[in-house]
Amino acid sequence: MLLINIFEIIGTIAFAISGALVGIEKKLDIFGVTFLAITTAIGGGVFRDIIVGRTPPTAFNNPIYCVISIISAILTYLFYKKIHKFKNIILISDAIGLGIFTAVGANVAFFCSMNKPFIVICTGLVTGIGGGMLRDVFVKDIPFVFKKEIYAVASILGAISMYFLYDYLSNILSMYACFFVTFIIRILSIKYNLNLPVLDDKNIGFKSDEI
């Protein structure tokens, strides 16, 4: 179980840093920066727990991830000028976070005996991308998962592989499989700059609010 916990901590730090960076750029005060870091790191898990009815959400019962987020946010705030040196480390850590949060989230569905494929995908995906979406909504950006590279798709494919492997592997092993599938797809999409298609020809003379 140790390695999963280490991955979770790495992911929490990476997600919190991404939240703090966005907050600093949007000129939030130190509370806003910290709050956004926490939201990014634990938001997906909180929403997942609300969906499956686990109240209060784990992140509120066990403040460790919140404390990690606060420390990450303050360090990001203090060393903001130097953080671009760690650009690649942060990118890789974020991919680790996406992978491990998807695995942990999908596992919650099995844990709650909601082992239908659709719920496994939903809990995995919500845990993986929910925090980042909340961060973007708070600072008035369109959630970047709607626009940028193969992010959510990596999470969905990871959760699907976990669902199919769960019958053949142990709980922990299927979580690792989910983690690696998500992580590898995400890293490949960054390396080769893969993106999903966007419809660009729009000269059709009407807008949705005319409908």
Q: Which is nearer to a second copy, 132 or 176 (CB)?
A: 132
Evaluate whether 58 touches 72 at the Cβ level (below 8 Å).
Answer: no
- Identify residues 75-94 at the interface with a second copy (CB under 8 A): 77, 80-81, 84, 87, 90-91
- Which C-beta is closer to a second copy: that of 170 or that of 195? 195
Count of residues near a second copy by CB under 8 A? 71
Distances (CA, A) of 61 to 11, 45, 65, 134, 177: 19, 12, 10, 20, 28
Q: Of the ranges 1-9, 18-26, 160-168, 175-183, which one interacts with a second copy (CB under 8 A)?
A: 18-26
Smallest gap from Cβ 169 to a second copy, in A, equals 24
Tokens 């939030």 — which residue? 28
Listed ranges 2-10, 26-34, 162-170, 174-182: which one lies at the site for a second copy (CB under 8 A)? 26-34
Stretch touching a second copy by CB under 8 A, among 96-104, 117-125, 164-172, 174-182? 117-125
What is the closest distance, in whole angstroms, from the C-beta atom of residue 176 to a second copy in the complex? 25
| CB burial of residue 190 (10 Å; 0-12, 13-18, 19+) | middle
Contact 174, 109 (CB under 8 A): no
CA nearest 150: which of 179, 193, 180? 193
Structural tokens at position 39: 């939201």
Taking the least distance from each CB to a second copy, the nearer of 9 and 92 is: 92
Which of 143, 165, 169, 187 touches a second copy (CB under 8 A)?
143
